[in-house]
Chains A and B, each alone.
Chain A
Amino acid sequence: MTAAVKVEGLRKTYGSLVAVDGISFDVREKEIFGMVGPNGAGKTTTIECLEGLRNRDDGRLAILGYDPRREGQELRERIGVQLQQSSLPDDIKVSEALDLFASFFRKAVEWPPLIDLLGLAEKRNARFAKLSGGQKQRLFIALALVNDPDLVFLDELTTGLDPHARRAMWDLVRTIRDRGKTVFLTTHYMEEAEELCDRVLVIDHGRVVALDTPDNLIRGLDAGTRIVFTAEEGYDPKPLESVAGVVKVEKAGAKVFVTGSGERLVVLVVDALDAANVRFRDLRTERPDLKDVFLTLTK
């Protein structure tokens, strides 16, 4: 696999503030690559340096083989960009916006199939100001695809969307990848990164904290399994600490949380409860998710 994006030692400072502090990573062709990190971790600065909207202070970048600083014009012919903060004139119509943006590129696709794909066909004559948040977001994606780019940047694509619209957006991102494009996205939602991304880059304070598939990141956390159940009033879970494999026992209200590892953990815990004649209900097991990884890595 070749790399669509190569970043080596990227650094960007604003005065005395170091926004990006020497980060390196590769993005493979045709993967959905996610970048996550707390607010102010340097996500937007990084993505803007890659897009050529901001000049880096140091480091080497090859985006589709181009240096965004020296070859920004050529690079922008080949990438699609959805920005976190941008807008269009209120009175521009959907079809006019696509027509206009298509004219900026040397090579552009026929856009009517694009608005079909994005579910905007009925809105083609609607003015920008009259669109809902989700529709505006879909229009921006259409604009990002109008030049048939090899690499698409999506910066906080689903922020502010309701759960339905977010799910629809995920399907759309997969469709974009299935059409042979590389997707580079940033998000605040860990379930989004876990669901959607082939690999996730975690950054904090301008540095790389981790980079792997969501599964490997979660496994790497080594957090084991968590058993949750609701116990009868006055129950003291302390005896469970002596069950083989149990690492930690916590109680919050009527809920008991038992963390541990081992294949027989659940059986042993249930046996222990049964032997002590404890009445319990709603027992379930929880696997840690990417949110736990995020909270652990970016303290």
Chain B
Amino acid sequence: MRGLWKLTRMEALLYLREPMASFFTLIFPVLLLFLFGSIYGNKPNPFFGGRGTVDASTPAYMAIIIGSTALMSIPIGMSTYRERGVLRRFRATPLQPGAIIMAEIIVHFAMTLLGAVLLVAAARLVYGLNFGGNAALVFLGFMLSSLSFFAVGFLVASLAPNARVANIIGMVLYFPNLFLSGATFPKEMFPPAVKAVGKFIPMTYVVSLLQGLWFGEPLDKNLLAVVVLGGLLIVGGIVSAMAFRWE
């Protein structure tokens, strides 16, 4: 696809030139890790079924990173491009819409991955993070989680009439996902009613899938999460492709 490589490189550069945009992706999860790590450390904790707080939290915090790129960066970025006429200008060239979407996915996935790597490195260096799973499976689970939430992000961008509304919808989706899924506060401390609500929050399945794979649970124990996220990816991908608007 002509133009894809240059566009991807450009988007990555622009992302890095806007330091505030990467706060929730690169910095915030590490700060959260230090906050709870400094309170509880990483000793085996009966609260987490004998696992250390940092061991249980690190895969959960990855969901925060995924949410920040998928529900904040992508909707705001795409709808700003549309609102300001950047997409319009691209459209007057032979560039294919697929190349634009592809570049956005590559750059945002790279940033999400970078956020996760920073988080794991900090947890490992400071708290001696333990890992009991298969790295390739964790990567695949992380990728599935990211892409299915990206599909939602593109959908928000297409449906919102302007960047301001996209920002609001993104936040309205992000914060419940963040707090009710166990990504920030562990599920183990939720009362049954909140746990029940959590079953309807897509990010709950990201947290359970990544935690499960992190501790080496067999895949069939996480089948529900894979099905939910896979469904979200397919439905979200199709609907957002249909809803895509240049202007």
Chain A positions near chain B (C-beta within 8 angstroms): 51, 53, 73, 76-77, 81, 83, 85-89, 91-92, 96, 99-101, 103-106, 140, 143, 147
> What is the CB-to-nearest-CB distance from B4 to chain A, in angstroms, rounded to a whole number?
9
A residues near B44, Cβ cutoff 8 Å: none
> What is the CB-to-nearest-CB distance from B8 to chain A, in angstroms, rounded to a whole number?
10
> What is the CB-to-nearest-CB distance from A36 to chain B, in angstroms, rounded to a whole number?
22
* Known A104-B93, A105-B93; 8 more pairs at CB < 8 Å: A86-B92, A89-B86, A91-B17, A99-B6, A103-B3, A103-B5, A104-B95, A140-B89
By beta carbon, the residue of chain A nearest B18 is A91
B94–A104 CB distance below 8 A: yes
Task: Compute how far the CA of A168 lies from the CA of B90 in the bound complex, rounded to whole angstroms.
Answer: 26
List residues of B (63-85) whose CB comes within 8 Å of A's CBs.
81, 84-85
Chain B positions near chain A (C-beta within 8 angstroms): 2-3, 5-7, 10, 13-14, 17-18, 81, 84-86, 88-95
Contact of A76 among B7, B13, B14, B93 (CB under 8 A): B93
Known: A100-B6, A103-B3, A104-B2. A88 touches B86 (CB 8 A): yes
A53–B94 CB distance below 8 A: no
Task: Compute how far the CA of A81 lies from the CA of B92 in the bound complex, rounded to whole angstroms.
Answer: 7
B93–A87 CB distance below 8 A: no
B94–A87 CB distance below 8 A: no
A residues near B90, Cβ cutoff 8 Å: 104
Task: Compute how far the CA of A209 lies from the CA of B2 in the bound complex, rounded to whole angstroms.
Answer: 42
B residues near A147, Cβ cutoff 8 Å: 93
Q: What are the 3 tightest A-B residue pairs by CB atom distance, in nearest-first order?
A: A86-B85, A103-B6, A81-B92
By beta carbon, the residue of chain A nearest B80 is A89
24 A-B residue pairs with Cβ-Cβ distance under 8 Å, sorted by A, are A73-B94, A76-B92, A81-B92, A83-B85, A83-B89, A83-B92, A85-B85, A86-B85, A86-B86, A87-B84, A87-B85, A87-B86, A88-B86, A91-B17, A96-B10, A103-B3, A103-B6, A104-B3, A104-B93, A104-B94, A105-B93, A106-B2, A140-B89, A147-B93
A residues near B7, Cβ cutoff 8 Å: 100, 103
Task: Compute how far the CA of A109 lies from the CA of B14 in the bound complex, rounded to whole angstroms.
Answer: 25
Task: Compute how far the CA of A96 lies from the CA of B7 in the bound complex, rounded to whole angstroms.
Answer: 10
Contact of A89 among B2, B81, B94 (CB under 8 A): B81
Task: Compute how far the CA of A89 lies from the CA of B10 in the bound complex, rounded to whole angstroms.
Answer: 10
Task: Compute how far the CA of A111 lies from the CA of B18 in the bound complex, rounded to whole angstroms.
Answer: 27
A residues near B89, Cβ cutoff 8 Å: 83, 86-88, 140, 143
Known: A92-B10, A96-B13, A100-B10. A53 touches B92 (CB 8 A): yes
Task: Compute how far the CA of A99 lies from the CA of B5 in the bound complex, rounded to whole angstroms.
Answer: 12
B residues near A85, Cβ cutoff 8 Å: 85, 88
> What is the CB-to-nearest-CB distance from A160 to chain B, in angstroms, rounded to a whole number?
15
> What is the CB-to-nearest-CB distance from B22 to chain A, in angstroms, rounded to a whole number?
13
A residues near B95, Cβ cutoff 8 Å: 104
A residues near B85, Cβ cutoff 8 Å: 83, 85-87
A residues near B10, Cβ cutoff 8 Å: 92, 96, 100
By beta carbon, the residue of chain B nearest A77 is B94
* Of listed A89, A101, A143, residue having the most chain B CB within 10 A: A89
Task: Compute how far the CA of A100 lies from the CA of B6 in the bound complex, rounded to whole angstroms.
Answer: 6
Contact of B14 among A83, A92, A101 (CB under 8 A): A92
By beta carbon, the residue of chain B nearest A75 is B94
A83–B88 CB distance below 8 A: yes
A residues near B88, Cβ cutoff 8 Å: 53, 83, 85-86
> What is the CB-to-nearest-CB distance from B99 to chain A, in angstroms, rounded to a whole number?
9
B residues near A76, Cβ cutoff 8 Å: 92-94
> What is the CB-to-nearest-CB distance from B95 to chain A, in angstroms, rounded to a whole number?
4
Task: Compute how far the CA of A100 lies from the CA of B85 in the bound complex, rounded to whole angstroms.
Answer: 16
> What is the CB-to-nearest-CB distance from B145 to chain A, in angstroms, rounded to a whole number?
28
A residues near B2, Cβ cutoff 8 Å: 103-106
By beta carbon, the residue of chain B nearest A80 is B92
By beta carbon, the residue of chain B nearest A82 is B92
A residues near B86, Cβ cutoff 8 Å: 86-89
B residues near A73, Cβ cutoff 8 Å: 94
B residues near A100, Cβ cutoff 8 Å: 3, 6-7, 10
